Each structure stands twice: as structure tokens, then as C-alpha cells.
Amino acid sequence: MAGLSGRTRFLAVLALAVSVLAVVEIRWLRATEALSNQVSDAFVRAQAPKHSADPDIVIVAIDEASLAGMLEHAGRWPWPRSVHGELVAGLAAQKPRAIVFDIMFADPDVRDPAHDRVFNEEIAPLDNVYFGTARNGPESDPLGEPMTDLESALGAVRGPQSARDAKINVLLPLALERRNWRLGLINFLQDADGVGRRYGVYLPAYGWRVPSLPARMAADFGWPIPSVEDLTLAWRGPARAHTTIPFVDLYLEFNREKRTRPADEFRDKVVVIGATATGLHDIRVTPIDHRHPGVEILATAIDNLKNSTWLRPAPGWAEMALALTLVLAGALAFARGTNVLLTGAGLVILSVAALVSSYFLLGARIVFPVTTPLLFGWAFFLAASVREILDERRSRETAIREFSRFVNPHVVRELMAKGGLSRQGESREVTLLFSDIRGFTTLSESRSPQEIVDLLNRYFTRQVAVVFRHGGTLDKFIGDAIMAVWGAPVDDADHARHAVAAALDMADTLLEFRKELGPIDHEFDVGIGIHSGPAVVGLIGSDARREYTAIGDTVNLASRIEGLTKGVARILVSEDTMRRCGDAFEFIDRGAYPVKGRSGEVRLYEPKRKSA
């Protein structure tokens, strides 16, 4: 980087630093994952209603209405297991594809075992009734059952490294006979923010693969199963999108002599039985709803596996590639000197395009998170913009310091405030002052060139300070002469009075300076001519070099008045200037003089400060 400019080197280092941070964040840290998830959740909520839930998956809900309606038939929850047996019998008669219980039958009915016996008798002849179970913490596995004893019940799959003596602690349905254990895990998977976006496919345990309940069903029915531990759910429709029937409605229907519902209502359906009543506490947080019943989440997972509609992640490199592309594009834009606002507008367009692409890809069941790459793209832009602003500020301050050595600070401020003086000339009422050194030839003969230059620099420094102090603009140096203007580029209603006041102070400054010159001080003098009137002012010159100056008859007359001061007075002003000064000064009439370029004579006056 030795040959690079400081600005380019900074951009390169910044781009490298932001890129490394982006890679570390996307690959390992995931500190921005919460924000990324919120954006993805918003897209999920917008996309889900566009997709219908599988009509062959039906939920039998233990809802508030069922809890109330079943009081006279089964008492308070939990109901006797025989009630569930009656429901299974009614459903089985219609030959559904599967009956799935999202209910834990963990404890046997010790008070009236007959209820459990009825339930088991109804299930025994069926091979399509499934039950959910949950794994307890892995640390409790030594207290569990041998994996080999639960292999068939859990549908566990041995791996090449499976441990034969491994145990696993799952919540077993002890109210059921072992012959009826057709189990699958229904553990709720939640991300760090407590939201459930994923569902388990299988749980690795000691070399075994223990399937989730949806994956267990998929294996039995020949549905495709992704070779991942969990999948991201594709929600179908809004919350409660699957066909839902209150438990009490079916219970009463199956116990009527004359039924009113279709006799084949559940033929080839997957019937999922579970709680939706808030009081039964099987409520979870998902991207779709903050009060999402667990049975609906299970139904969605079954729907996803049955129809292969789960969300697929974009390639692992895509998110990282987007982040690096945004940073690189920003670095190139800044390196080429593209306007910050234009660069920002470009980044806005890219950000919108990325978000829109992510939204539509989600509709195509592809998860492509773009929030984190966008954050790093904007982080680079903001850091580079701050550097640009600071550089511009430093350049501005440097320019002011440099320009102020030669140009009136008013000009500098206007130049910076407006981004430059107007390139178009304008006509203004101004006052021009010309000051020329007398006796300069004699002075040059007695001193070396270096001394002459030093002397002129010291003299001009003092006189320019006087011009600036009175609000004038230094137009230029013409050899050993000074040209100054009042009333441009900054408006000055009293430009004539300020110019005359400056001339009087310049005369005083001359007298002070002459004391430094030694024996030839009397040879060193100045003539100052002043005239007021209209002039054209603006940036004049070639494309390569321009200077702010005034041109016109007013300028010419002021210069010629300065030439008439020799032998008359150190300072002479025109009648126009004298009139514009009002009574600010005393003026001595020095007569009328012919001036080249004028048909008539010009009357000139010598200004004096008013006596106290």
C-alpha cells in the first residue's frame, strides 16, 4: 500500500476490516441474528397467507368450547382415557391415514384403570396411531431406558457408531401398553429470542438417530425426509389455517345413534389431536403468532414433510458473498470520488433490491437472510462517509487558511458557502482603490533584489491587513501597486466610506513603515486613487486559471485618478465617491483634471478625517 494515497489506503483498510468482521459475524458470532430473524419473520407473515394448508391434515382441538362442553360427559380435564378411546374408535371407522396424539399419556389412571384399558383396547388393532413424547435433558439420560429397548417404539435408527448400552430419558406414555407405543419426539425448538421457527427431524444420541413425530410418520408413509437435524418451517396460511374441529363436536357425533356429519369425513386424512385452549398451556411463540397452539405447530411440521414444502436455506456462501459485494461496491464508489449522496442512493437501491429478492425467494421456499450483509454494507458506507466529511472539513479549513493569506475572508467564506463564486459576471455598484508606490526606482537602486522583495512583502502585508480590516477585497497586486474593491463580492451599502477610511489608514501605515527605511524614507511614498460607480465583477480568466476581479470604466478611472495624485495629494477621490461618503469626512477640492478616455474633466478631492 506504499504507493497509495492516504484516502485510498484508508478505504482499503476499512473495506478489509469490515469484510473480516462480516465473515466472522456470519460464520460464527451471529450477534445480528435477532434483527435478521425479525426481518425474516415479517416476510414469513406476509408470505404465509399466499399458501394454503393441506386440507388432508385436520386438527381435533381440545379448545375452550370442548372443555366446557365435556363437563357433563367426562368431567374436568384431564378426561378419562376411555373418552380418547371412543374418539379413536369413531375416527378409525372412517379409515384415516393416521391418528396423531399431541398429548402426553405419561401417568396411568391408578384410580380407575379400566379407562386406560378401554383406550388401549381401541388402539391395539390399529397400526396408524402415533403419540408424541419429549426427551428430557441429556444429563438425565443415565436414568432413562436402554436405547435398544426403545428402538422400535421410537423408530430409532442405528448408526455405524451407535452405542448398544446407551440410555435415553424420554417421557414415556405409561398409560399405554408397550405394544401401543408408536412414538416420536415433539420437543419444541426455539431460537435465542424464544421464537420457534424450526422443527426437529431427528435427534442424534450416542450414534443413534431418534426421529421427531413428523419424521417418524414420514418414514412409515414414504415421504421424503431431509438429511438434517431440523428444518425451517414453511407456514401455510395465517395461524389456525388447518381445518380444525372441536373435540366435543366429534365426541358427541360419535355417540349419536343418528349421525349428522359425513361418514367419510376423515378418510385418508391425518388427524392430529391436541390442546388449543389457553388454560392447557400448550401455547408457543412463532413468527406467525405469539400465542400459537403446539398442536398447530405439529400439524404444520407434518404438512411440510408430507408435501416437501419446508424452507431450504440459500447456499452458505450467499450471505457472505452479498456482504463482501456491498462493501467492495462501496469502496470502489468512494475511491472513484462518487458523491456521497449518490453513493448512498445507490446503496438504498441495492438494499431494497436485496430485501425484495429475499422476500420473493422466501415465497419460493428459499431462506436467504440479507439483513446482516446490509448492516455491514451500511456500516462501511457510514464509516467512509464520516471520513469523507472529516476530510472535506479539513480541506475546507486548509483552503480558508490558505486563501485568507491572499483574499479577503469575505470572499473565502462565500466561496466555501456557495461551493465557489458565480462564474457569471454581475454588475454592481462598487468602489475601486488603486495604491501605487512612489520612489520605488530609487529604492531598488540602493538595495539587493532579496531586500526589495522582503521590503515589499512586509509593506504589502500591512496594507492588505488595512484593506481587510475595512471590509475590502484584495483584487490583485500589479507590480508594486495594490488594487482593492469594496461592494463585491459581499454587498456593502457604505462601500465608498469604507474605501476612503481604508485609504486614510493606509496613509498612516505608510508613515509608520517609512521609519524602518532609514535615510531614504522620504523617497518612499504612495499615491491612492478612489472612484465609485458600476463595474462588472466575477471570475474572469481561462478554464485553467480564473481570478475574481472587477472590470469596466469605474476601474479604469480609479486607476487614472491614482496616476494624478503625484504632486497633488497622497489620496484623491472622485466626486462620485465624495458624494457617497456624505459627511463622514472632510474633503478638499483639488480641482478638475483631464482624464484619458473622458470627454470632460474630472473633479478630484483629497479626503481628511474630521477634526475632533
Q: What is the mean pLDDT of residues 115-122?
A: 97
Which pLDDT score, from 0 to 100, does residue 417 have? 65
Element (H, E) at 240: none
Q: What is the mean pLDDT of residues 353-368?
A: 96
Q: Mind listing the pLDDT tens digit for each residue in 86-110?
A: 999 999 999 999 999 999 999 999 9
**Summary mean pLDDT of the chain:** 92
Measured CA angle at 441 (ends 436, 443), to 5 deg: 95
- Identity of residue 606: E
Q: What is the mean pLDDT of residues 209-229?
A: 97
* pLDDT score of 438 more than 90: no
* pLDDT score of 396 more than 80: no
d(CA 134, CA 117) in angstroms, rounded, equals: 23
Which pLDDT score, from 0 to 100, does residue 394 have? 84
Helix and strand totals (H; E) in the chain: 19, 25
* pLDDT score of 361 more than 90: yes
Where is average pLDDT lowest: 88-102, 351-365, 402-416? 402-416
Query: Per residue, what are the HEC states of 395-426?
Result: HHHHHHHHHCCCCCHHHHHHHHHCCCCCCCCE
Which pLDDT score, from 0 to 100, does residue 249 have? 98
Q: Mind listing the pLDDT tens digit for each residue in 300-321?
A: 999 999 999 999 999 989 999 9
Q: How far is the CA of 547 from the CAs of 23, 283, 426, in angstroms?
A: 52, 78, 14
Q: What is the mean pLDDT of residues 68-84?
A: 96
Q: What is the mean pLDDT of residues 266-272?
A: 98
Grid cell 398451556 in the structure block, residue: 281
With beta carbons less than 8 A apart as the criterion, state whether 527 and 566 touch: yes
* pLDDT score of 277 more than 90: yes
With beta carbons less than 8 A apart as the criterion, state whether 327 and 17 touch: no
* pLDDT score of 75 more than 70: yes
* pLDDT score of 542 more than 90: no
Tell the CATH topology of 413-608.
Alpha-Beta Plaits (3.30.70)
Q: How far is the CA of 596 from the CAs of 343, 527, 600, 601, in angstroms?
A: 58, 18, 10, 9
d(CA 372, CA 40) in angstroms, rounded, equals: 11
d(CA 36, CA 313) in angstroms, rounded, equals: 14
d(CA 316, CA 233) in angstroms, rounded, equals: 18
* pLDDT score of 418 more than 70: no
Residue of higher predicted confidence among 209 and 440: 209
Strand ranges for 444-577 from DSSP E: 473-478, 481-486, 525-541, 546-551, 571-574
With beta carbons less than 8 A apart as the criterion, state whether 189 and 199 touch: yes
With beta carbons less than 8 A apart as the criterion, state whether 231 and 310 touch: yes
Which three three-digit cell numbers place residue 583? 459627511
With beta carbons less than 8 A apart as the criterion, state whether 175 and 110 touch: no
Radius of gyration of the chain (CA): 47
Residue 122, C-beta contacts closer than 8 angstroms, at least 6 positions apart: 85, 86, 88, 89, 92
* 415 band by pLDDT with thresholds 50, 70 and 90: low
d(CA 384, CA 386) in angstroms, rounded, equals: 5
Which three three-digit cell numbers place residue 304? 411440510
d(CA 359, CA 370) in angstroms, rounded, equals: 10
Q: Mind listing the pLDDT tens digit for each residue in 5-16?
A: 788 999 999 999
Q: How far is the CA of 147 from the CAs of 141, 172, 178, 191, 200, in angstroms?
A: 10, 13, 14, 28, 19
Element (H, E) at 492: none
Q: What is the mean pLDDT of residues 136-159?
A: 96
Residue of higher predicted confidence among 130 and 540: 130
Q: Mind listing the pLDDT tens digit for each residue in 471-513?
A: 999 989 998 899 999 998 888 999 999 999 999 999 999 999 9
d(CA 490, CA 411) in angstroms, rounded, equals: 7
* pLDDT score of 25 more than 60: yes
* pLDDT score of 420 more than 70: no
Q: Mind listing the pLDDT tens digit for each residue in 30-65?
A: 999 999 999 999 999 999 999 999 999 999 999 999
d(CA 417, CA 255) in angstroms, rounded, equals: 89
Indicate where the chain has its CATH 3.30.70.1230 domain(s): 413-608
Which pLDDT score, from 0 to 100, does residue 393 have? 84
d(CA 230, CA 204) in angstroms, rounded, equals: 11
Where is average pLDDT lowest: 190-194, 205-209, 252-256, 411-415? 411-415
Q: Mind listing the pLDDT tens digit for each residue in 160-177?
A: 999 989 999 999 999 999
Measured CA angle at 429 (ends 427, 435), to 5 deg: 110
pTM, two decimals, is 0.75
d(CA 145, CA 354) in angstroms, rounded, equals: 50
